[in-house]
Structure 1
Amino acid sequence: MNRRWAARLALVAGVGAVAVLVVFAGLASLVLMAAAWAGLVLTAAGAWWMLTHTGWIRALAVLLMVAAPLTVLYLYSSAGLLWVVLASLGLWALAVLAGRAALTEDSPPGMPERSVGLAGRPFLIMNPRSGGGKVEKFRLAERARALGAEVVVLDPDRHEDVAELARRAVARGADLLGVAGGDGTQALVADVAAEHDLPFVVISAGTRNHFAMDLGLDRQDPSTCLEALTDPVELRIDLGRIHAGEPADGRPGRVFINNASFGVYAEVVQSPAYRDDKARTILEMLPDLLTRQSGARLSVRAGPLTTDGPQAVLVSNNPYQRGDSAGLGRRERLDTGALGVLCVGVGNTAEATELLLRGGQGRGLTEATAREVVVDCDAPVVAVGVDGEALSLPTPVRCRIEPGALRVRVPRGRPGVPRAAPPMDWRRVRRLALTMGRFAAGRDRA
C-alpha cells in the first residue's frame, strides 16, 4: 500500500470509528466515551498508588486497577453496546496503524556502511553462560574456529578480565576483536577495539541483545553474526563514556554502548536482595524511591537543560526512538554524535496518570540530546546501572559522547533495523492524503 492510500485509509477508519458510536449509540456514545475515559484514569491512578504505597492501600489500588475496566465493560454489556465499542476500537486501531504506515517513510535513512576486506587474525571472546548457554547451543566457538578465528571461551567458575584478554590478543597481532556475550562484556571489549582503532564484531549471544538489535543483527540465531568474518560491511558508530568524580581525577572513564541509568532502577538493582527475589525487592523499594523518601536526590545538566529532583534518569548512547521512554526499543542510529537524555520526575498522582495514559509522554518526562551530561546528587556516591551492570560511582558523574569512535563489522545480509513507526500526527496524515491526492489528480489530467 502506498503512502497516499494508507493516509486515506487512516482518515476513513478514524471517521468510521466515531460514526459507529454516533449512529448505533446515539447520545449514549457520549456516556460511553466518558465511562471509558474515567475507567482509564482510575486504572492509571490505581497503578501509581500500587507502586507508591504498601499494605492495605496497595491492596485497594490493585482492586481498583481490576475493578475499573471490568465495571466499564459491564456497563457496555448491560446497555447492549459492547459490540459497538469493540467495532469502534477496531476501526480506531486500524486508523492509527494506517496513519503510522503513511508516515513511516518520513523516518531518516539508516547508518552508512562501507565494504571492507577480511580480517587476517580475528580474536573472539565467548561467554558460555550468556543467554542461557547460546555459545554451546549454536556451536559458536566451533564455527568461529572453522573460519580461522582465535576463540577464548571464558571459564564460568572464575572471573576473567575480558579487557585484558583483548589487549593481550592485540599485542599478539589480532586485527579484529569480537564478543559473544552480554552487552556489559561487549562494552568492555569495544573499548579496547576503539582504543586501537580495530574493527569489532558483535555476536548476539546475550539475553536481551539490545546493542545487536540496534545494529540490525539477527538476535534469534547468533551464528549468523559470524558472517561478519566472511562477508562484512563496516559501520562507524559512537560510544558513550562515563566518568566518575571531578574532571581532574585523571580517570579514563568507562564505555557504555547502550545506556547509563540513575535513580529508581539503579537503586533497586544495588540491593543485595534483588538477585534472589527481583519482584518482591522492587515492590518493597519502589514506594520510598518514587515518593523520594529514600535514595539520592538527583540533579541533571544536559546542555541548556537543568533538571532537579527526577526519580529516574536514563543517559543513552544516541537517543531512543521517540515515544520509547523506557529505553526498551530501538535506536534508529548510533552515529548522531549525541547522547539521549530522559528524566522522569513525577510529583503527584495527576502527573503519574498523565504519563501512563499518554504512553510515556507528559509533564513528568523531560527529553533532550546533548554532547555531555552531568548527573550529581546530595551524596558523595551515586548508584548507576551501566549497560545493566550495577555500580556505585563518586559524584558528580559525567557522561559524554565519542562520535565515530568504534568500527563495527556486521554481515552484509543482516536483517537490519526496521524503520520506526512515528508518533501519530493526524494533521500530517490529513495533509499527506489531500496533498498527494491533488498531485495525483493533476498528473492524471496532464
Structure 2
Amino acid sequence: MLIPLVAAGLRSVFWVLIGVAGLALAAVGVWWTLAHTGVVRVLGVALSVLAPLTVLVLYAVSGLLAPAFVALALWVLAVTAARTALAPLHTAHVRERTRVEPPRRPWILMNPRSGGGKVDRFQLVEKARAAGAHVVLLGGGHEDVSELARRAVSDGADLLAVAGGDGTQALVAEVAARHGLPFLVIPAGTRNHFALDLGLDRDDPAAALDALTDGVEVRADLGFAADRVFVNNVSFGTYAAVVGDPAYRDAKAQTILESLPGLLTGDDAPRLRMRAGDTRAEGLQALLVSNNPYRRAVDAARPGRRERLDSGLLGVLGVCVENSAQAARMVSGARSPGFLRLTAPEVVVEADTDTVPAGVDGEHVVLPAPVLCRIAPGALRVRVPRHRPGTPVNRPAVDWPRVVRIALRPLLPG
C-alpha cells in the first residue's frame, strides 16, 4: 500500500476510491446485463466494460498505472506468501489407509459419450479388461444406472467403478456405500470435480486403473438431498431452473441470457428459505449445498476446490441480490450482505411450492419440498492409485493480524 502513497501522496486515497467505484459500477453493469433485457441490458454491457476501462485510463493519464499494477502484484504476492507460511506441512485431505489387496472381481460401468468420447480415446475398455475388470457399457437408452450396479453386487462384484461424469459417479457410489464395497473413480467425464479433489489425473483417465493393482483406500463423505446422493453439490434456485430448461444442453449461453431476467427479477424468480441449526435465511435466489465446503466463493488459484472430503460437514453458499445497489455491494466479496456462507451437518431448503427444481451434480431433478440435505461422514470407501498427482494443500484463511505481528516482531522492543 506504500507504493501508491509514495507515487501520489495523500491523493492515493482518492485514487483507491476511484478504483473501488469502478468495480462497483462494473458490478451494476453485470447485474443489468443478467437481470434485464432490451436497452437496459445494452447499457449494462456498456457499463461493465467502460467502468473499469475508464479507471485504467484515468490511472494512466495521472501516471499511476504502473504503480497500481506494481501494488496489485505485490498484494497478490503477499497473500500467496501468507497462505504458504501459515499452511500445515501435510497435504492429505482425506484419511488414507495402507495399501490394499487388488479386487478379485472388479466391475466398471463406462459411458462412451462422456467427456466427448474419452472412453474410446484413452482405450479404457481394453485397458480395464486387461486389468481383469468386467466392463459394462452404457448404450443410447435410459438405463437404470443404480439397478446395473445392484445387479453387479448380486453377481459377486467386490469393487464398483465408473468411467463417466459426476452424476453417474454419484449413483454408483451410493450402491457401493450401501453394500460397503470400495468405489473407483475414473475421470472420463467433462469436469470430474470429485476426481480432482481426490488427487486423480483428469488428463489421463486410464491412470486411475492403476488402483486395481496398486491402490490405497481413502474414506470420503457422501451428501444427500432428500433421497438423492451427490458427491459434489446440489444447487437450488436460478442455476437449477436454467439447467432444467430443455434448450440448455444445446445452447447454454443463449439459454442463460434469455432465462435469467425472469429468474432474477420477474414473477418466476425463485425465493428460497434455508434452515441450518440456528441460522435462518429468506429470499435467496440461489443456494448451493456441497459435500464438504469449497475453499471460497472465488479462488483464482484453485477454483471450485475442496480442502477435504471427510470433514463431516456440508458447505452452504447462498446469494440474494435484488437490485443494482446490492450488486454494487457485492464488490466486498464474501463479507457482502448478499452472500450467505456457512457449514452444517444438515440443511433444510424450503419454498412456497410443493416441489423444488434442483441440480444434483449437474443433473436436473425435481425434489419434494422441503428438502433435507444431509451428509453421511466417511460413508464411501474410495480406491485410488497409490501414486497419483496429489491433492490440494489445506490452506487456512489468512490471519492478517498474526501476519502483521510476525512482520513487525523484529522492530518491537523486547
Question: CA 1:267–1:433 in structure 2 vs 1: closer, same or farther (change >3 Å)?
Answer: same
Per-residue CA deviation, residues 320-375 of structure 1 (Å, 9 max, x unaligned), is 113449995111111112222222122332332222x2344411111222222211
Question: CA 1:86–1:285 in structure 2 vs 1: closer, same or farther (change >3 Å)?
Answer: same
Residue matched to 1:196: 179
Residue matched to 1:310: 284
Task: Please say if 1:132 is aligned against 2:106.
Answer: no
Shift of 1:24: 2.6
Residue matched to 1:68: 51
Contact in 2 for aligned 1:296/1:382 (Cα 8 Å): no
Contact in 1 for aligned 2:95/2:310 (Cα 8 Å): no
2:404 alignment partner, SS class: helix
Residue matched to 1:142: 126
Query: How many corresponding residue pairs?
Result: 412
Residue matched to 1:232: 215
Residue matched to 2:353: 379
Shift of 1:109: 5.2
Task: Please say if 1:398 is aligned against 2:353.
Answer: no
2:284 alignment partner, SS class: coil
Residue matched to 1:183: 166
Corresponding residue to 1:263 among 237, 252, 261: 237
Question: CA 1:210–1:227 in structure 2 vs 1: closer, same or farther (change >3 Å)?
Answer: same
Residue matched to 1:409: 383
Residue matched to 2:200: 217
Question: CA 1:38–1:295 in structure 2 vs 1: closer, same or farther (change >3 Å)?
Answer: closer
Identity of aligned residues (%): 59
Shift of 1:292: 5.5
Counterpart CA distance in 1 for 2:396 and 2:101 is 37
Contact in 1 for aligned 2:91/2:394 (Cα 8 Å): no
Contact in 1 for aligned 2:185/2:195 (Cα 8 Å): yes
Residue matched to 1:15: none
Shift of 1:242: 2.0
What amino acid is the match of 1:234?
Answer: E
Residue matched to 1:10: none
Counterpart CA distance in 2 for 1:271 and 1:98 is 44
Shift of 1:110: 2.2
Counterpart CA distance in 1 for 2:299 and 2:317 is 7
Shift of 1:261: 0.7
1:358 alignment partner, SS class: helix
Of 191-200 and 324-333, more deviation after overlay is shown by 324-333
Shift of 1:288: 2.3
Task: Please say if 1:347 is aligned against 2:330.
Answer: no
Corresponding residue to 1:113 among 96, 99, 124: 96
Question: CA 1:286–1:325 in structure 2 vs 1: closer, same or farther (change >3 Å)?
Answer: farther
Corresponding residue to 1:54 among 22, 37, 40: 37
Residue matched to 2:308: 333
What amino acid is the match of 1:274?
Answer: Y
Per-residue CA deviation, residues 148-177 of structure 1 (Å, 9 max, x unaligned), is 11111222x222222212111111111000
Residue matched to 1:248: none
Contact in 1 for aligned 2:270/2:284 (Cα 8 Å): no
What amino acid is the match of 1:205?
Answer: A
Corresponding residue to 1:32 among 15, 22, 43: 15
Counterpart CA distance in 1 for 2:324 and 2:150 is 52
Computing the radius of gyration over CA atoms, which structure comes out larger, 1 or 2?
1
Contact in 1 for aligned 2:88/2:394 (Cα 8 Å): no
Residue matched to 2:154: 171
2:67 alignment partner, SS class: helix
What amino acid is the match of 1:128?
Answer: P
2:108 alignment partner, SS class: strand
Corresponding residue to 2:248 among 274, 288, 293: 274
Counterpart CA distance in 1 for 2:359 and 2:4 is 48
Residue matched to 1:11: none
TM-score under structure 1 length normalisation: 0.86
Give the unaligned 5+ runs of structure 2: none
Per-residue CA deviation, residues 246-297 of structure 1 (Å, 9 max, x unaligned), is xxxxxxx121111111000001111122223211221122122222531442
Question: CA 1:76–1:111 in structure 2 vs 1: closer, same or farther (change >3 Å)?
Answer: same
Counterpart CA distance in 2 for 1:57 and 1:107 is 51
Contact in 1 for aligned 2:108/2:163 (Cα 8 Å): yes
Residue matched to 2:68: 85
Counterpart CA distance in 2 for 1:107 and 1:312 is 35
